[in-house]
A and B are shown apart, each in its own frame.
Chain A
Amino acid sequence: MSLLTDEIRALIGREVSYTAPEELGRAAIRYYARAVGDDNPLYTDEAYARRHGYDGIIAPPTLICETNQYADLPPDADGYAGHDWHIDIPGTRKVRGGNTYTFHRPVRPGDVITATWRVTDVAERRTSGGQEMLIVSSVADYTDQEGRPLVTNEETIIYVALKEER
């Protein structure tokens, strides 16, 4: 049986947009850098950032690709409170494929971020072990309060068919 049903195929082109209720903020930037363990002063030291050609501190590049704070959604049963297409395919396991980020300009504490997610493709493949899998490709465009691009995030999520035996 094919995982690529008409219903799944119809996801292509689906789009959803989230705008943060507030500016990103300096605390969010410092917290992220600290959580990662990255002590780069560009993220926390205003004078250092200015000395190196920025208008002040910047966010670690991958921060806005990840944070759920602008989605502002309630947590689901698994505790997840971010963007999701809610694709439920019985008999499969969902795993992350990978990401490609393109950084258009550094993100600053005063930026109010909008994330627009779009499904770009769904494709059926087989794993090297012969299991069927479905690959869902999405792209997220992150923009600032003026609609200018910040980051593009291309993401693949894979649904692998579970083996019959338990």
Chain B
Amino acid sequence: MTEPTATGPTVTGPTVAVGAEVPPLERTIGLRDMIAYAGATWDWHRLHYDPEYLEERRLPAPVVDGQVFGALLVEQLQDWLGPRAVVRRLHFRFKNLVFAGDTVRCTGRVTAVDGDTVTVEQRIVVVDGDEPERAAVEPAGAEVVLRVPEER
């Protein structure tokens, strides 16, 4: 590990230093989005759309497939760092269920920079106007390698 204040490569894109904030990614996940995700992943579990199934289990609304949050955490990092970023490792733990219609916000912060490898911690909360945020996914985080851009 290099100095805790080390800065990674800055050939293009944002400066990546310990403490830097990853720009938040916010997304409202509607039932239509959930149906699309279920289709794209061949996952037709009734938990994600079927009112009868949900009522039997006293769930208030269709439950968002947790794995979609992995995709959002990667998207948040790649939107920030661009095509030179390669996510090498991603971890996340589920805290609370997220339901159809909820708006989630992914946040993050750089915790280490070692050569071309950037470590970030991330978190996903459900936001609802003035209501207190509800943790959906935490802890979470990633290791990202920043490649030197090669023009072809």
Identify the closest chain B residue to A102 (Cβ): B89
Q: Could you tell me the dominant secondary structure of chain B's interface residues?
A: mixed
B residues contacting the other copy or chain, number (CB 8 A): 41
A-B contacts at CB below 8 angstroms, number: 115
The reply to whether A98 and B40 contact each other, CB–CB distance below 8 Å, is no
B50: interface (CB < 8 Å): yes
- Among B44, B66, B89, B149, contact of A103 (Cβ-Cβ < 8 Å): B89
A75: chain B residues at CB < 8 Å are: 44
A96: chain B residues at CB < 8 Å are: 66, 94
Q: What's the minimum C-beta distance from B59 to chain A, rounded to whole angstroms?
A: 11
Q: What's the minimum C-beta distance from B88 to chain A, rounded to whole angstroms?
A: 6
Q: List which A25-58 residues lie within 8 A (CB) of chain B.
A: 28, 31-32, 34-38, 40, 42, 48, 50-53
Identify the closest chain B residue to A76 (Cβ): B45
Tell whether A99 pairs with B41 under 8 Å between CB atoms, given A34-B36, A35-B36. Answer: no
The reply to whether A99 and B92 contact each other, CB–CB distance below 8 Å, is yes
The reply to whether B43 and A66 contact each other, CB–CB distance below 8 Å, is yes
Q: What's the minimum C-beta distance from A8 to chain B, rounded to whole angstroms?
A: 22
B130: interface (CB < 8 Å): no
Using A69-B42, A75-B44 as known contacts, list a sample of 16 further A-B pairs with CB atoms less than 8 Å apart, ordered by residue number in A: A31-B40, A38-B71, A42-B78, A50-B152, A53-B83, A53-B149, A53-B152, A60-B75, A62-B70, A62-B71, A62-B90, A68-B43, A99-B90, A101-B89, A101-B90, A101-B91
Please provide the 7 A-B residue pairs with the shortest distance between their CB atoms, ordered closest to farther: A98-B93, A68-B42, A35-B36, A52-B83, A35-B40, A100-B91, A62-B70
Chain B interface residues (CB < 8 Å from chain A): 27, 33, 36-37, 39-47, 50, 53, 66-68, 70-72, 74-75, 78-79, 83-84, 86-94, 147, 149-152
Chain A interface residues (CB < 8 Å from chain B): 28, 31-32, 34-38, 40, 42, 48, 50-53, 60-63, 65-69, 75, 78-82, 95-103, 106
